[in-house]
Structure 1
Amino acid sequence: MQLQEIDKSRYRNHLNKVIGACIAALTIGSLGIAQTLILLFPDADGSHFHWNLLGVVISCSVIFYVLRRVKLHPFMVEVVYVWELKQALNRITRKMPKLKKAAQQGNVNAMLAIHYSYAGSRQLWMLDDNTITMEELAIWQAELDALAAKYQVSLDAADYDEGILRAF
């Protein structure tokens, strides 16, 4: 996955609308389904937990289906990009201890994966206004840059390919 520049305000606007629609659909759908089932199949004990649970499960399934169907719609471009970026960064984060060890030994692919992770994290944190840990990220980046200089390696996030993670 290549890093892309996206419009922060458009992303936040679309994300808020998608979240709002999902919350509304979950609320209305689960309550509507549960109430319909309770009307059709009343319980003498007054416990309708299973109908409420079924309403939530069905509503979640419908929301998931709809999100997968509209994933390629132009409205969803930024939201899907950030979702996929988070998944890519999580895959790197799970392998980070091995990557850091290999980078210390001069492994170019490990340094490239770490560099991509830092660049992606920086973009993600800026989009989400999560600037608290940006100073730490700058320190980590400086350490990585020192390693790259030591081993005379040029790092570019555009060169990253997820396939290099298989070696770690």
Structure 2
Amino acid sequence: MQFKKIDKQTYRSRLNRIIVACIVSLAGLSLLVSQVLIVRFPSESGSHFHWNLLGVIVGALVVVSVLLKFKNHPKMEEVAYVWDLKHQLNLIYRKNRKLLAEAKAGNPQAMLALQYSYEGSRQLWQLDDNSITMDSLNKAQNQLDEWVDQYGVVLDVSEYRQELLKQF
């Protein structure tokens, strides 16, 4: 996955609209399904917890399926990109300990994965106005830069592929 330039205002605006639409849809569908089930299959005890729970589950499944169906829609481009980027960063994070050990030992593939992670994290944190953890990111980037200089490695994040994580 390659990095894209994302307009922060457009991203935030579309993300907020999607969140509101999901909340409204989930609430409406949950109530609709549970009320239909309660009317069709009333409980003698007066407890309708299971029908309410089923309504929430059905509503969530419908909302998720609609999101997946429209993931490639132009109005979802920025949000879908951020979701995919977060997925890639999570895959790298799961291997972070091994990647750091390998990068310290001079493995250029590990350094490339770490560089991708740092650049992706920086982009995400800037989109979300998360400046609190930027210091730790800068320290990690400085450490990686030292290893890159020490081993004479040239890193190009456009060469990063998810498949390279399989070796770690």
Which TM-score applies when normalising by structure 2?
A: 0.98
Partner of 1:121: 121
CA displacement, residues 81-130 of structure 1 (integer Å, 9 cap, x when unaligned) = 00000000000000000000001110000000000000000000100111
C-alpha separation in 1, matches of 2:102 and 2:135: 24
> Would you say how many aligned residue pairs link Structure 1 and Structure 2?
168
Partner of 1:4: 4
Quote the RMSD (CA, aligned, Å). 0.7
* Letter aligned with residue 143 of structure 1: Q
C-alpha separation in 1, matches of 2:161 and 2:43: 56
The answer for unaligned runs of 5 or more in structure 1 is none
* Letter aligned with residue 91 of structure 1: L
Structure 1 position 76, deviation (Å): 0.3
Partner of 2:164: 164
* Letter aligned with residue 98 of structure 1: K
Q: Spell out the pairing of 1:19-168 with structure 2 (5 A cutoff).
A: 19-168=19-168
C-alpha separation in 1, matches of 2:57 and 2:137: 39
C-alpha separation in 2, matches of 1:104 and 1:139: 15
Percent identical among aligned pairs is: 52
Structure 1 position 29, deviation (Å): 0.6
C-alpha separation in 2, matches of 1:72 and 1:124: 20
Q: Which runs of 4+ in 1 moved over 4 A?
A: none
Which TM-score applies when normalising by structure 1?
A: 0.98
Structure 1 position 37, deviation (Å): 1.0
